[in-house]
Amino acid sequence: MKKIFYWSPYIGKIATVKAVLNSAISIKKFSNFQNEVSIINCFGEWNLYKKIFLKNKIKEIVLQKKIQININSNGFVNSRLIYILSFFYLYFNLKKTIESEKPNILIIHLLTYIPLLLFINNKFKTKLYLRISGKPKLGILRKFLWKLASKNIHKIFCPTVETRVDLIKSKIFPRDKIFFLPDPIIDQKFQFNKKIRLINSFKIKEKSYYLAIGRFSKQKNFKFLINSFLKNFENSKLFILGEGELRYELEKIIEKNFSKNVKLLGYRKNVVKYMNKAKAVIVPSLWEDPGFVMVEAAFNLIPLIVSNCPSGPKEFIDKDKNGYLFISNNESSLIKKINKFEKDKITVIKKNIKNAFNKSLNYTDINHYKLLKKFI
CATH assignment of the domain containing 79: 3.40.50.2000
- Residue 356 shares a structural domain with residue 368: no
- Residue 172 shares a structural domain with residue 103: yes
Contact 9, 73 (CB under 8 A): no
**What 3 state SS string does 307-356 have?**
ECCCEHHHHHCCCCCCCEEECCCCHHHHHHHHHHHHHCCHHHHHHHHHHH
DSSP conformational letter for 123 = -
Contact 311, 289 (CB under 8 A): yes
Q: 134 or 50: which carries more pLDDT confidence?
A: 50
Q: What is the pTM of this model?
A: 0.89
- Residue 170 shares a structural domain with residue 204: no
- Residue 78 shares a structural domain with residue 220: no
Distance CA 106, CA 111 (A): 13
- As for how many domains the chain has, the answer is 2
pLDDT digits (tens, 9 = 90+) for 344-356: 999 999 999 999 9
- Residue 156 shares a structural domain with residue 277: no
- Beta partners for residue 209, in sequence order: 278
As a whole number of Å, the end-to-end CA separation of the chain is: 11
Contact 249, 329 (CB under 8 A): no
- Residue 179 shares a structural domain with residue 206: no
pLDDT digits (tens, 9 = 90+) for 211-247: 999 999 999 999 999 999 999 998 999 999 999 889 9
pLDDT digits (tens, 9 = 90+) for 275-305: 999 999 999 999 998 899 999 999 999 999 9
Q: Write out the residue range of the structural domain in which residue 198 sits.
A: 192-362
- Residue 10 shares a structural domain with residue 146: yes
- Residue 172 shares a structural domain with residue 215: no
- Beta partners for residue 146, in sequence order: none
Contact 38, 77 (CB under 8 A): no
Distance CA 124, CA 191 (A): 45
